[in-house]
Amino acid sequence: MVGAPLLVSGCASIPTARAAPDAAPAPAPVMRADLHLHISMERAARPVFRGRSGDGWIAATPETILTNQVDAALLQHAGVRLVFGAVWPPFRIRPGRDARDEALEQLRLLRAFVGSTPGFAIAEDAAQARALAAHGYVAVIPAVEGGEGIGSVEDVDLYFARGARVITLAHFVSNDLAGAAGEQLARAIGLEAKALNDEGLTPLGRAVVKRMMELGMVIDLAHASDRTVRDVLALTEPAGVPVVVCHTGSRALVNTERNISDELALRVAKSGGLIGVSIYAGLVSPVPQSAQLAHHVPGTCDDAIAHWRHLAGVVGAEHLVLGSDFNGMAARNAAGGSCPEGLRHVGDLAGYFAALEAQGIPASAIDGAGGKLLELLERVEEKASPTARAEAKRAKVPTVHLLVSPL
């Protein structure tokens, strides 16, 4: 229910990340990861989305996309200890502010929510993430999905100062930084989308990528056009900086530019990068019969598992991580097949990981995904400039008064 607007100031205090306890932790049996998780959607999708971690609301079916699907205790039960927590500045539907201000405000609110919700903790670097995960927290690395708010290199520093450590350069449509994968909006409404977008990095996009490398920020190529991916790799490969594709499927199975090709998947992996395998039905279904095992049930999580199997055969299972997009308003396949209840929410991930193992994905790759992600973060940070990071942390985030309609 929408009430009277509230005045919220962008200069409100920001809680710091939780400090890990002094006592040495017991070794965790697994440290799984999710490269793309919306901790909360109540801000970006208000008022149509309901619920958030800890309040009792949880999706009851795989088809439920407008009710919360994320809970810290359920993530911990599934062994997920490290996530990229995505914020999404939506299309220009917010009166009185632009995409940059919306991203900065969502980053502030993500930190505030995580700081007040048991089980989660914000991590600003790999060392902090490692300590928090080892002590039982779900370590959240803030990520911004889409570079629409970046109009200058200085804006990257503002995102960094506000806590972002990952930026997805493009989202549904091309922006001032980079070309997006072709025909995504058409596919989102059920139309076939095969055309490629020939737009790549712009001059501003190149400058932003270079600044992100200086700051030790993770460059995410999900949603990017092939040309954008190649343009970015031309900058990151010589520098020895790995990248991620945080949620995607295999183009060899579902032919859309939004899914990664085998060729580009190999380049990402060879550079030390990671690929997040999606569970979004629009990317993983339908699977060709040639990629189905004997017990495959089309339209279930077996489709997503088939993408995982294919990509593992191309790049090696050690380069694959879950990229769930839970709470991302993304349609998920029905119950059945290897997931009797379907993927309703993060509580079903333990069964999904078991299904992956049963279909040939090594347990060591699934259980060690968090460790691989920490190694990637460490490599990205090693290539960064300590001076640049210190300067960016001191960047003055502008005070922006935002009209916010509460649920």
Query: Where does 146-240 show beta strands of DSSP type E?
Result: 166-168, 218-220
Comparing 403 with 195, the larger pLDDT belongs to: 195
d(CA 147, CA 156): 9
Could you give the residue ranges of the DSSP H alpha helices within 9-88?
A: 72-77
Mean pLDDT value across residues 352-363: 98
> Which residue's entry shows tokens 């700081």?
115
Q: Give 366-402 pLDDT, tens digit per residue.
A: 999 999 999 999 999 999 999 999 999 999 998 765 5
Give one DSSP letter per residue of 153-169, joined into a string.
HHHHHHHHHTT--EEES
**Given a cut of 60, is residue 174 above it in pLDDT?**
yes
Measured from the Cβ of residue 50, the count of other Cβ atoms closer than 10 Å reads 15
**Given a cut of 90, is residue 293 above it in pLDDT?**
yes
Comparing 89 with 324, the larger pLDDT belongs to: 324
What is the reported pTM? 0.90
Average pLDDT, the chain: 89
What pLDDT does 94 receive?
Answer: 54
Here the tokens at position 221 are 């190529």
**Given a cut of 70, is residue 403 above it in pLDDT?**
no
pLDDT band at 18 (very low <50, low <70, confident <90, very high): very low
**Which of 126-135, 182-191, 251-260, 313-322 bottoms out in mean pLDDT, i.e. has the lowest?**
182-191
Residues 6+ apart with CB under 8 A from 47: 1, 2, 405, 407
pLDDT band at 20 (very low <50, low <70, confident <90, very high): very low
CATH of 6-12+30-404, one of 3.20.20.70, 3.20.20.140, 2.60.40.2700, 3.40.50.720: 3.20.20.140
Q: Which helix (H) or strand (E) holds 121?
A: strand 120-122
d(CA 87, CA 161): 15
What pLDDT does 1 receive?
Answer: 29
DSSP-derived 3-state class of residue 396: coil
**Given a cut of 80, is residue 133 above it in pLDDT?**
yes
Mean pLDDT value across residues 235-261: 97
DSSP-derived 3-state class of residue 276: strand
**Given a cut of 60, is residue 91 above it in pLDDT?**
no
pLDDT band at 195 (very low <50, low <70, confident <90, very high): confident
**Given a cut of 80, is residue 58 above it in pLDDT?**
yes
**Given a cut of 60, is residue 251 above it in pLDDT?**
yes
Q: Is there a contact between 253 and 301 (Cβ–Cβ < 8 Å)?
A: no
Measured from the Cβ of residue 5, the count of other Cβ atoms closer than 10 Å reads 12
Comparing 102 with 322, the larger pLDDT belongs to: 322
The percentage of residues in the chain with a pLDDT greater than 90, rounded to a whole number, is 80
For the chain, the structural domain boundaries read 6-12+30-404
Measured from the Cβ of residue 130, the count of other Cβ atoms closer than 10 Å reads 21
